[in-house]
Structure 1
Amino acid sequence: MSSNERRQRVERVAGSRRAKLTPAPGTRPEPVPRDDTNAVGAEASVNTSGPNDERMLRDVPPHY
């Protein structure tokens, strides 16, 4: 398999100003709802918070 077969490709869409990418290798093209606990990778995204998340949610930019 060459390197071009493993990469996303840009496809032109007739009548559109924007192009679209083909799905990345190893991914599914359709979105997965956040509530879907059976989805691959869903267990990693549930209740993940970093050490600064609480402070970042409280902070307000000075122009507000």
Structure 2
Amino acid sequence: MELLEQSSKSLRQVARELGVAENNLYNWRKHYKSNQEKAFPNQPQLDEKRIGIKAIKSTNC
């Protein structure tokens, strides 16, 4: 999704480069935009405390 969102390329171009069907990429993007936290259920979710710790560590480095 980052490639698609940050690219100046069209959805069609990105789909072709990745070798996926345009409608799949469209549906993935739609799902991602509507519910970013749960868009990729296989990715581990960080709880709020861990997110805060990561933010503090990144500002102290």
**Which one has the largest radius of gyration?**
1
TM-score by length of 1: 0.30
Structure 1 or 2: more helix by fraction: 2
TM-score by length of 2: 0.30
Structure 1 or 2: more strand by fraction: 1
Which protein has greater RCO, CA pairs closer than 8 Å, 6+ apart? Answer: 2
